[in-house]
Chains A and B, each alone.
Chain A
Amino acid sequence: MYFTLSGEQRQFSASLHGMLTVGDALTSARRWAAGDHEPGLIIWRSLATAGVTGLNVPQEFGGLAADPADLLVACEELGHHALPGPIAESLAVVPHLLAGVVARPGTDAAVADRVGSWLAGLASGQLIATLAAPPLLPFAANADAAGLILIAEAGTLRLAEPAALHPSVNAARTLADVRQAELITEGTAVTAALRTALDLGTIACAAQLLGASRALLEASARHAQHRVQFGRAIGSFQAVKHQLADVLIQLEFARPLLFAAAISLAEKSADAPRDVSAAKVACSRAANLAARAALQVHGAIGYTAEHDVSQWLTLIRSLSLAWGSEAMHKARVLGALTGQSAGGQPLREQPCG
């Protein structure tokens, strides 16, 4: 039993934190939202040097073939710094899908070559990928910054062409309607790889939510220590203390669910769908609480575009809505526990109610 981060994982997290601080990821997100992707892309390239973009890429293509837990450590830090871009798609989902295609015996050599070069591009940071996977992911996120846009649907994996580009509530994020284009491959191998790939994407999203929540809690605590009203720091008032204590509690108890899901995926456990859904529910809930509390503690200043609270708050709002609804994930957990229909199922968006 070893259910805590290793020394190396802590160091990895700390070094990413340093890199993203120096690179000023928060400002890059603002620039990205204003249409200038370059500062953000510079950070993406530096992450590639650190191996982050290749975490889920097989070693023969220059990746690290790392543990899902390492992916989560990275994604949490990326969420902590509100890094823009299709993180879950490019770091988790697409590499897993493409690796599955290459590894499948009987894959056409030309296809394998092409897919292999994409994998190498992902690992080296030259390529950023995104995908749509209806019904869970009806849109391709950040397609305007991706060199590779895919669509996985009805047992096929195809290139995708973006049609309309919609802005998200998170100004650094776009959602593209996409059309199916050239077929890459199809069959049960795609379906099987897609299940795990989407589960990995879901926890990568959940990890970002946790990191963003932590950033908001830290910012709120700092604000509460320094903002003086009625002759005292507002953090001395119980209402403020208790609101932030509740955020801390939710964060601390969401975290183990996230890493348990990583273990289940790594071990290809039958419990993976249950654990992934539990993690998404808990991290989304913690994040939404963190967002509400941060806004309340900051007051009107937190409601401005200029203040960083808005960055994390809108990131949280978009990511907690994406990757499956709360209702769907809870149904998947309960289904797994009762052995009933929704349990253990691949992620799909189900009509609510």
Chain B
Amino acid sequence: MNLDFDPGLQQFRAEVAGWLAAHVPAEPLPSVDTAEGFAQHRAWEARLAAAGLAAVSWPASYGGRDASLLEWLVFEEEYHAANGPVRVGQNGLFVLAPTLLAHGTDEQRARILPPMARADEVWAQAWSEPGAGSDLAAIRSRAVRTDGGWLLSGAKTWSSRAVFADRAFGLFRSDPEAERHRGLTYLMFDLRRDGVTVRPIPQLDGEAGFAEIFLDDVFVPDDDVVGEPGNGWQVAMSSAGHERGLPLRSPGRFMATAARLVDLWQRHGDPADTELAGRVADAWIGARAYQLQGYRLASRGNRGGGVAQSSLTKVYWSELDLAMYETALDVLGARAELRDEPGPDGRWLDGYLFALAGPIYAGTNEIQRSILAERALGLPR
């Protein structure tokens, strides 16, 4: 057993670190949930793409670098250590793209992936509905067959970054007569078409980070169906389509947070507060465990690990993240609640507010725990 990085990997790491050092903006970009911020994040993605770094795991033919899981982990470590901007294209890059790579056609991949990598097209997800959150199979938004394609109608909700995104993907009910998991179709559609209304929803942190999407007979051509009509559930729930673990939130992100927390502790912490010190130690231990788990999965030649691994990992990173931010706020003490605290110390509160959402999005942790118990421990449904 070893944890060594071969010369090729070390070189890749150095290349990535060097590029990021030269290009990551010194000041954080404006919030991705504002028009100006979204535009600046889009421009950042284009710069990443021009350097071949927007989607390193993709095949080179689509703008990637055929990176192995280990190379991707290294890229992510450097990206987050360098405080790289939020990936505005993440829905497309980390959810739709793997789905297209596994279930799409060559035509779809060639048409969709390169503009996605460049952020010429930024994607939103359209899964949840007011009546269908955890119970996604309860969705009612319709895809009605028409000449050459489908007409979408209904309402989707909690769609992150849909306010400024260009396109969206999600599940629609194409056969209301069929058993509820069977009559679903996975479609991609334009958010800028007639018939689409996007209404931002203010979040508890004051940002309009997600939105409702209202669809009124929006046309989608047959070419924008992923997989077979009626087979949408299977596509969405496949490993590629449903990855919520490692590929969604890399260990590098949490290692960087833990490192900043240790630094915060050194500057602000009361050495006599051994309980709080213990929580800081826990943060690093937790993040390091995730980093090592990533290396372990990479060594087993296992890109994501399967559904149970995905659920295991999702619960783990989301609760680790929240614990780290809670600890940071406790270290900061009375100043922690200030929304106008300048500098890096002021960003912990934003991070905490975002971390609160972690146990909810990408499948609530309650659902993930049930999946884990059923798939990995054999407990009955």
| A residues whose Cβ falls under 8 Å from a Cβ of B | 1-6, 67, 69, 217, 221, 224-225, 232-233, 235-236, 238, 240-242, 244-246, 248-249, 252-254, 256-257, 259-260, 262-263, 278, 281-282, 326-327, 330-331, 333-334, 337-338, 352-353
Contacts and interface: CB of A to CB of B under 8 A. Distances in A.
B366 interface: yes
B284 A333 contact: yes
A195 B208 CA distance: 55
Contacts of A221: 377-379
Contacts of B206: none
A233 B380 contact: yes
A330 B277 contact: yes
Given A3-B2, A245-B373, A249-B315, A236 B379 contact: yes
B369 A246 contact: yes
B285 A3 contact: no
6 contacts: A1-B2, A235-B379, A236-B379, A236-B380, A248-B372, A260-B3
Contacts of A240: 373, 379
Contact of A241 (B262, B281, B316, B379): B379
A7 to B, nearest CB: 12
Interface stretch (B41-49, B100-108, B290-298): B290-298
Interface stretch (B4-12, B23-31, B194-202, B337-345): B4-12
The 6 closest A-B CB pairs, nearest first, are A241-B373, A256-B292, A235-B379, A330-B281, A245-B369, A253-B289
B299 to A, nearest CB: 4
Contact of B285 (A238, A257, A338): A257
B289 A248 contact: no
A254 B286 CA distance: 9
A1 B299 contact: yes
A248 B312 contact: yes
Contacts of B274: 327, 331, 352-353
Nearest to B311: A245
Contacts of B288: 257, 260, 278
Most chain-A Cβ atoms within 10 A of its Cβ — which of B281, B315, B380? B281
A256 B280 contact: no
B296 A333 contact: no
B380 A3 contact: no
A338 B265 CA distance: 9
A3 B286 contact: no
B135 interface: no
Given A249-B312, A260-B292, A244 B373 contact: yes
Contact of A282 (B289, B299, B300, B373): B289
Contact of B373 (A1, A232, A242, A259): A242
- Is chain A's interface secondary structure helix, strand, loop, or mixed overall? helix
Most chain-A Cβ atoms within 10 A of its Cβ — which of B285, B290, B293? B285
B370 A334 contact: no
Given A244-B377, A263-B2, A330 B289 contact: no
A236 B379 CA distance: 6
Interface residues of B, number: 46
A259 B288 CA distance: 12
A254 to B, nearest CB: 7
Interface in B236-279: 262, 265-266, 274, 277-278
Contacts, number: 149
A256 B293 contact: yes
Contact of B372 (A69, A232, A245): A245
- Is chain B's interface secondary structure helix, strand, loop, or mixed overall? helix
Contacts of B70: 1
Given A1-B3, A4-B1, A281 B293 contact: no
B3 A338 contact: no
A337 B284 contact: yes
B277 A331 contact: yes
Contact of A225 (B277, B300, B378): B378
B262 A238 contact: no
A19 B314 CA distance: 37
Interface string B345-381: 0000000000000000000001011101110111111
A278 B285 contact: yes
A224 B278 contact: no
A197 B288 CA distance: 24
Given A244-B373, A259-B1, A252 B6 contact: no
B282 interface: yes
Contacts of B299: 1-4
B278 A67 contact: no
A353 B370 CA distance: 39
Contacts of B5: 1
Contacts of A256: 289, 292-293, 295-296
Contact of A253 (B262, B266, B284, B290): B290
A8 to B, nearest CB: 12
Contacts of A282: 285, 289
A1 B285 contact: no
Interface in B59-114: 70
Most chain-B Cβ atoms within 10 A of its Cβ — which of A1, A67, A232, A282? A1
Contact of B277 (A1, A235, A260, A334): A334
Most chain-B Cβ atoms within 10 A of its Cβ — which of A2, A246, A262? A2
A245 B373 CA distance: 5
Contacts of B296: 3-4, 256
Given A1-B70, A4-B299, A253-B286, 4 more contacts: A4-B1, A242-B366, A282-B289, A330-B281
B310 to A, nearest CB: 12
Nearest to B381: A236
Nearest to A242: B369
A330 B282 contact: yes
B276 to A, nearest CB: 10
B278 A326 contact: yes
Most chain-A Cβ atoms within 10 A of its Cβ — which of B6, B277, B316? B277
Nearest to A350: B274
A245 to B, nearest CB: 4
Nearest to B73: A1
A100 B119 CA distance: 60
Contacts of A2: 1-2, 299
A234 to B, nearest CB: 9
A326 B296 CA distance: 26
B281 A333 contact: yes
A334 B262 contact: yes
